[in-house]
Amino acid sequence: MDEKKKTETGFGSDALKDPRRIVFITKKTSAKVKGDVGRQAMSYPKLILREAIVLEILTILMVVVALFWDAPLEQLANPLLTPNPAKAPWYFLGLQELLHYFPPIVAGVLIPGLVIVALIVIPYFHVNVEGAPLWANSSLRRLGMFSVVVVVLLIFFGIYQAWTIFIPTLVMAGVAGTTYFLPGQGGRFGTYLRARPLSWWIMTWFIIVAIILTEIGTHFRGPGWSWVWPWR
């Protein structure tokens, strides 16, 4: 802002000459909220001490476990001897499980790429910053859109017979839908679920599917990526 514009309001910018403050309070903002941070403590020693304790406990736990658990080591690498099944590290087994269902371009490139892009753009979608519940206005239009997306997803998973994704998706969508049709029921858990925003439902669905896929890839897949029971 240039000097001319400042003086147009009738007050100089020199605080000593003109020690006045003007506050405009518009409808949705309050001047007070930002300044009010509650009680504060000094980082040194309060925070530093707690962090040090966490470091010590963590180190002790890690050392104790490392004394009793042995890191795996197999035979020397042999490019001519393929183990069956060949498994990726556990955190990529969800991805490997996807490869079992979908074409490589979808499972190996499209889905992980979309997940990463989605994670990066989450904060830049200013949709629902206040975290309004999914069925806040109990609008039929929203329920319709929700149903269409769910049905499209279910058809997609169904075509590729990806039942381990199909079932958790169906269950999650069922629970979310139920909270629409049964307002005021289900006790505290029902009240909790009805207060969740759409972002909560999507993230929780993603986490549940990711955990299920990783677990299946780790313990339920045998030779030729066939289904095995871990206790057999």
Partner 1 sequence: MTSWENTIERLRRTPVWQSLFRRGPARTNRTRSVAVFGNIFLHLLPVKVRDASLRVRATYYLGSITFFLFVILTVTGVLLMLYYHPAVPEAYQDMKDLRFVVSSGVFLRNLHRLAAQAMVVFVFWHMFHVFYRGGYKPPRQFNWVVGVGLLLLTLFLSYTGYLLPWDQLAFWAITVGTNIISYVPILGQPMRFLLLGGHGIGENALLRFYVLHIVILPLFAIILIAVHFWRVQKDGGITLREEHGRKEKD
- For binding to partner 1 (CB under 8 A), which residues are involved? 37-48, 50-51, 54-55, 58-59, 62-63, 65-67, 69-79, 81-83, 86-92, 95-96, 99, 104-105, 108-109, 116, 119-120, 122-124, 129-131, 195, 197, 200, 203, 207
Reference 176, options 158, 196, 162; nearest CA is 196
- Asked if 225 and 100 count as a contact pair (C-beta separation under 8 A), the reply is yes
Nearer to partner 1, 93 or 162 (CB): 93
CB of 14 to partner 1, least distance (A): 30
Q: At how many degrees (to 10) do helices 163-181 and 140-159 cross?
A: 170
CB of 13 to partner 1, least distance (A): 27
CB of 195 to partner 1, least distance (A): 7
Retrieve residue 80's tokens. Answer: 């001519």
Nearer to partner 1, 58 or 152 (CB): 58
Nearer to partner 1, 133 or 177 (CB): 133
Reference 155, options 145, 144, 166; nearest CA is 166
R_g of the chain, CA atoms, integer Å? 27
CB of 69 to partner 1, least distance (A): 6
Reference 221, options 210, 205, 232, 209; nearest CA is 232
